[in-house]
Structure 1
């Protein structure tokens, strides 16, 4: 049985005049201990997916359809009281900005101890001991002293390490990390990602990594979902997607990486922008930006098909693959 099984998940937002679809019928599985990447530009639906999986959507957002099976339990329609036994305990989430996650008026120790005592029958002394162990696991120096400090007294990298320690406090089976290094300096980002990978591997914790950075995904994950306008448009083993992308959008994301451009040359970019939720095209949502577009792309939504070791939602994948093969052989 999968650790997590998402089936036909649809998330909508109730607007003043109509309802818009933020996630459109997405499905995927996550095995125990597996690391999955979810990538795409801003507005693709990545973070909404994470919030939906944690059942943290607030009005006007709501789950309109589908199932989220966590170890066989459908958590999509659970009450807040039911979710308290799962959220933080068996599933944890790391958010983009640690200063938003941490309470500025409570010490690190107070926040960690309260979390432990809310879910476990522990004394304060026992909870503090566990907190120190977790801080030591994320390589925080002098962890006993950190318990008495407030978030503003720590550096950005230190705060993010504490967030990771808090996510691991209750030994969850799944961590959802939403752009966990966005607020950090570039020099610290690699250290944090390496730490997160090490902890997930050593504790056999499942990981869903939400990011716009395919370079990070290639180093961190085993499988990848590429999202566009609320749809999964390519899915498969990360190595297959990075080395041989099938969807034009995925190809565009990879071509836009700095290492794909020669020094001194302009970075490549995908023309146009992600469509807004109120103006998603009728056919393939990527059709206005796609150089391979045909008339039927503008009118008919492509369904995912198995192609070259991945699932891809593209009408022109056969022609695209043939054209690329001819270019390489020329």
Structure 2
């Protein structure tokens, strides 16, 4: 049984213009200790998927269908009280900006101790000992002194290390990292991603990494899900998807990486932009931006086609996989 099994997940947001669907029948699994990447542009539905897992979809948004099985429990059926036993304990989340995660008026030690005591019957001394151990694991120097620091006294990279340490406090089975290095410079990004990879391997923790950067996904994850306009358009083993992408959107994301361009020339880009939920086109939602579009792409939504474990939502999936181009 997978650690996490998301099936036919549908998330809706009722508005005055009608019901907008942010996720359409999304499927994916995460095994114990496995690292899964969820990739796509802003508006693809990546963060909505993460918030749905933790039952953090704000009203009037709602999970309108599907199931989220975690350790055998369907999280969509749990009460608010029952979810509190899962959220922050068995499943931890790392958000984009550590300054939005950490309380600016409490010391690091206070926040870590309170987190542990919220989920464990434990004394202050034992909680501080565990906090110091976790800070040491994320390579924070002099962890005993850092317990007395306030968030503003730490650099961005140090704050994100603290957030990772807090995520590990309760020894969760799964960590969801929502673009955890967006607010950091490039060199610190690499350090943080390397740290997260090492910690997940050491503790046997499952990881869902949400990002727009396929280069990061290729270094950290074992499988990847590519989202576009709230739908899975390609999924499979990361190495296979990155080395031999099939869906035109995935190809475009990879071609847009700086290393794929010609030195001195303009960077490659996918023309146009992600459609808003109020204006998703008929048929394949990527058809207005696709280099391989055909009339049938505008008529009906393609099904996910299985190419030996590599699943692609495109009417030309087999042609593109075999190298046939328009």
TM norm structure 2:
0.98
Confirm or deny that 1:278 pairs with 2:281: no
Contact 1:292–1:320, Cα closer than 8 Å, also in 2: no
Task: State the shift of 1:321 in Å.
Answer: 3.5
Structure 2 CA distance for aligned equivalents of residues 209 and 326 of structure 1? 32
User: Which stretches in structure 1 are left out of the alignment for 5+ residues?
Assistant: none
Number of equivalent positions: 326
Q: 1:99 aligns to what?
A: 99
Q: 1:36 aligns to what?
A: 36
Q: 1:126 aligns to what?
A: 126
Task: State the shift of 1:320 in Å.
Answer: 2.6
Structure 1 CA distance for aligned equivalents of residues 295 and 212 of structure 2? 30
Cα separation, partners in 2 of 1:326 and 1:249, compared to 1, 3 Å: closer
Query: Residues 29-58 of structure 1, C-alpha deviation per residue, up to 9 Å, x if partnerless?
Result: 111100000001110000111111111111
Q: 1:255 aligns to what?
A: 255
Contact 2:292–2:325, Cα closer than 8 Å, also in 1: no
Confirm or deny that 1:169 pairs with 2:169: yes
User: Which stretches in structure 2 are left out of the alignment for 5+ residues?
Assistant: none
Match of 1:76, SS state, is helix
Cα separation, partners in 2 of 1:177 and 1:326, compared to 1, 3 Å: closer
Contact 1:240–1:309, Cα closer than 8 Å, also in 2: no
Query: Residues 187-206 of structure 1, C-alpha deviation per residue, up to 9 Å, x if partnerless?
Result: 10000000000000010000
Structure 2 CA distance for aligned equivalents of residues 32 and 320 of structure 1? 33
Q: 1:186 aligns to what?
A: 186
Cα separation, partners in 2 of 1:139 and 1:279, compared to 1, 3 Å: same
Contact 1:75–1:83, Cα closer than 8 Å, also in 2: yes
Confirm or deny that 1:305 pairs with 2:298: no
Task: State the shift of 1:79 in Å.
Answer: 1.9
Q: 2:62 aligns to what?
A: 62
TM norm structure 1:
0.97
Query: Residues 255-309 of structure 1, C-alpha deviation per residue, up to 9 Å, x if partnerless?
Result: 1111111211111000011010011111000001011111110010000011254
Contact 2:254–2:260, Cα closer than 8 Å, also in 1: yes
